[in-house]
């Protein structure tokens, strides 16, 4: 017979208090044109897949849910123009035909009558989690939110994004004088043009983006994602783009970028907080990103950033293979918790079977389950969690990936002492 463990006792065993935000109502944002057998890539199930995998893995038992609320007009208008917000507000009372006409005004966006409310919930949830971290209610956290936000600009929606979640959260932190310096790491496979535009002249924000660029042809399809975009005026050097030139980038390419560029600069910048625009569309078998980053690598990158600044929040952006999204998020959260990682499940291409395809051992690489449900759980206080990644740290970069990173380093040497000293 399985023995029930007191959740508070289990949480107290972990020194790191990891928060999360989630609300099932964010699923209400959906495409009016969706067919059951051919859903839109920004699938409403993406957040639910993550939540259910965390629940099945027992990790929710040791995490702390943070109460959320929709972003306020004041918070939103620090980032977005009032005319644009008024246009989004009008969609709440539009009929289907008007909504379809309205969404066609934007680039790669769908709308329904619940879309704006969901966008406010998504942004507000990230704001709440960031506030909880800086106020020491939790140490770090993961925002399981949608719609995503890193493409959203001041006056327009684009790329599945309505409100710029990260931008709203960062400006809220500055407005409340809770931080002086924020680092944003955007590992979504698409360049976060919306975030970049908002902070391109702000030297208190270090923005680092790793994305497919393909000579400016990959979405969002502009030169804004080039390595030459280093920041403007006094903020030159505080915008770092790592623009991959082809598909297929994998663990070694991301590890090389982190070890030789992102981490040295982060340590020199000394952020008060790190926010990760955590898109998982560079993951293995993502149908849009077509790259090869594994859940282990996402875990490793999270762990590396956590060593730079313990106040770190990851916020879901893209990712269009449901299994890949859920397993990549699981890896990141294991890294935040500091629990042991084992080489686990690699998602099938275009698979939508989710956690139901996984054995308990694969879901639960931390082997936490045996401590939670086994009658011998009393041994729990003697168990010391240890985070480890079997191979991602030592993965070798591709020739193409290494060349891109080396050229970005050369571009930024004049701005960062650590890059000059590294040779």
Say which residues have a Cβ less than 8 Å from residue 6's Cβ, sequence separation at least 6. Answer: none
Give the phi and the psi of residue 231 in degrees, each rounded to 5: 115, 160
Q: Strands, DSSP E only, in 24-181?
A: 64-65, 140-143
Joined tokens for residue 74:
């004041």
Distance CA 277, CA 126 (A): 11
First to last CA, the chain: 61
Ordered alpha helix ranges (H), 35-108: 45-56, 73-77, 82-90, 96-103
Distance CA 341, CA 355 (A): 17
Q: How many angstroms from the chain centroid is the CA of residue 72?
A: 22
Three-class DSSP category at 152? coil
Q: Are 167 and 198 in contact (CB under 8 A)?
A: yes
371 part of the active site: no
Rg (CA), the chain: 20
**Per annotation, catalytic residue among 48, 80, 150, 151:** 151
Distance CA 80, CA 85 (A): 7
Active site residues: 151
């Amino acid at each position: 017979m399985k023995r029930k463990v007191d959740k508070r006792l289990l949480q107290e065993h972990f020194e790191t208090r990891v928060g999360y935000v989630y609300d099932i109502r964010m699923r209400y944002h959906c495409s009016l044109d969706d067919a059951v057998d051919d859903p839109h890539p920004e699938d409403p199930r993406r957040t639910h897949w993550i939540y259910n995998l965390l629940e099945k893995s027992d990790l929710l038992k040791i995490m702390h849910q943070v109460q959320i609320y929709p972003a306020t007009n004041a918070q939103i208008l620090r980032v977005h123009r009032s005319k644009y917000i008024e246009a989004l507000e009008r969609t709440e009372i539009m009929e289907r035909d008007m909504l379809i006409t309205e969404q066609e005004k934007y680039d790669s966006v769908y709308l329904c009558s619940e879309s704006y409310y969901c966008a406010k919930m998504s942004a507000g949830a990230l704001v709440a989690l960031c506030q909880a971290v800086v106020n020491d209610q939790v140490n770090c956290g993961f925002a399981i939110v949608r719609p995503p936000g890193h493409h959203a600009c001041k006056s327009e929606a684009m790329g599945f994004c309505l409100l710029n979640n990260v931008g709203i959260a960062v400006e809220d932190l500055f407005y409340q004088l809770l931080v002086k310096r924020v680092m944003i790491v955007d590992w979504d496979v698409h360049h976060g043009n919306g975030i970049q535009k908002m902070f391109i002249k702000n030297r208190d924000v270090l923005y680092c983006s790793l994305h497919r660029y393909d000579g400016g042809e990959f979405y969002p399809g502009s030169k804004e994602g080039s390595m030459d975009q280093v920041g403007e005026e006094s903020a030159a050097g505080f915008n770092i783009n790592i623009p991959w030139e082809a598909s297929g980038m994998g663990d070694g390419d991301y590890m090389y970028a982190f070890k030789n560029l992102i981490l040295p600069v982060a340590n020199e910048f000394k952020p008060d907080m790190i926010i990760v625009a955590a898109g998982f569309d560079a993951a293995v078998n993502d149908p849009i990103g077509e790259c090869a980053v594994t859940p282990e690598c996402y875990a490793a990158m999270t762990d590396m950033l956590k060593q730079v600044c313990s106040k770190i929040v990851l916020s879901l952006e893209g990712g269009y293979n449901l299994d890949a999204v859920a397993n990549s998020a699981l890896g990141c959260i294991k890294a935040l918790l500091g629990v042991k990682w084992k080489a686990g499940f690699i998602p099938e291409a275009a698979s939508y079977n989710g956690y139901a395809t996984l054995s308990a051992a694969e879901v639960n690489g931390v082997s936490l389950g045996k401590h939670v449900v086994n009658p011998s759980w009393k041994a729990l206080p003697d168990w010391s969690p240890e985070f480890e990644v079997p191979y991602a740290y030592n993965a070798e970069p591709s020739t193409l990936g290494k060349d891109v990173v080396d050229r970005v380093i050369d571009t930024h040497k004049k701005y960062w002492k650590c890059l000059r000293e590294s040779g």
